Amino acid sequence: MLKDIVAASALGDYRLHLRFEDGVEGVVDLTPHLSFRGVFEPLKDPAYFAQVRVDPELGSVAWPNGADLDPDVLYGRLTGTPVLREHDLPLAS
């Protein structure tokens, strides 16, 4: 997929408004997807979560502590298309 995020803003309640390089944009609710453990623990604080920015090198969203989220996964959540299709998965031998 390889779609870079070009704009991001926090909307509250662990939601992000994202715009991708291909013009696709919308709101992704991260509530069910964040564990708030490890590097993601600080994101539990709404004020810290609001410090989201676009990392131009990764093409994804990131926070000051280095936490980042995969842009392909976010694109898939936004568009309803899975990152991996069944034929992309290796078959067990």
Q: Where are the domains positioned within the chain?
A: 5-84
The predicted-structure confidence for 71-84, as pLDDT tens digits, reads as follows 999 999 999 887 66
pLDDT for res 83: 67
Measured distance CA(43)–CA(46) in Å, rounded: 7
pLDDT for res 66: 94
- Reading phi first (left if > 0) and then psi (alpha if -120 to 50, else beta), residue 62 is in beta
Contact 71, 4 (CB under 8 A): yes
Q: Give the CATH number of domain 5-84; options: 3.65.10.10, 3.20.20.70, 3.40.50.10490, 3.30.2020.10.
A: 3.30.2020.10
- pTM higher than 0.95, yes or no? no
Measured distance CA(19)–CA(33) in Å, rounded: 19
